[in-house]
Amino acid sequence: MTTGSDQQQPATDERRQTRGLATQERVLAAAAEEFTAYGVDGARINRIATNARASKERIYAWFGDKESLFDSIMQCGLDELAEAVPISTDLVDYTVRLHDVFTARPDLQRVAVWAWLHDGSRPTPLAAQRLDSYRHKIRTITEAQRDGLVEASWEPHHLLVMLITLATSWLMAPAEVRQIAADSGASAERRAQVRFAAERLLTPHPAKPGSTIPVQ
């Protein structure tokens, strides 16, 4: 025979789990804002805890230290980008779509830039999932080169860096240049220039007599 307390216990556990998940979501949202504004070095767990209405102890229990929490935020951002901008062998289109997402969501780009600055000096290995995401992009570029869709003389990883730089170029440009450009060009014109630059970079060049193209 089931007692009232036995029936109440599962419902209580379910409510606690729901509250825990809601708190974790608030922590991730607060951490994303914190890292976007201050980077990894400047971020403070105290502020994240206050803004998320969560205890520091709970944050540490769920996510580990600040570096681990940042890795979680970065992975969320990479997952969001991978879903919004899946790479394909049409690398011009990929670059323009990446530009569009970063223009609409500059917070994603700021977190990525903080990671690029911070991770370059990290002594510890990067998360395997993050590395796999970029390895997939490099494999796609290599495939496009082998199919003759993309200039094959570029090293794939160098080309990926250049495409990312193109996609983020206007958002990373000096404020003075952006102010000057604002007087003569709209966002659509900047987008067109990103496409034009990507096409020039990616279009296969006819091999000159006696020249060799490095095998990928």
Neighbours of 171 (CB within 10 A): 15
CATH class, domain 19-64, is mainly alpha
Q: Which residues of 65-86 are buried (b: 16+ CB within 10 A; e: fewer)?
A: ebeebbbbbbebbbeebeeebe
Continuous H helices in 64-215: 66-84, 91-104, 106-119, 128-146, 156-172, 175-182, 187-202
Q: And the tokens for 141?
A: 């570029």
pLDDT per position as a tens digit, 58-75: 999 999 899 889 888 888
Whole-prediction pTM: 0.75
Domain map of the chain by residue range? 19-64, 65-205
Low-confidence ranges of the chain (pLDDT < 50): 210-216
Q: Does domain 65-205 have CATH number 3.40.50.300?
A: no
Closest alpha carbon to 88 in 140, 133, 142? 140
Closest alpha carbon to 109 in 153, 170, 18, 156? 170
Q: And the tokens for 215?
A: 């095998």
pLDDT per position as a tens digit, 117-133: 777 666 666 677 778 88
The single-letter code of the amino acid at 164 is I
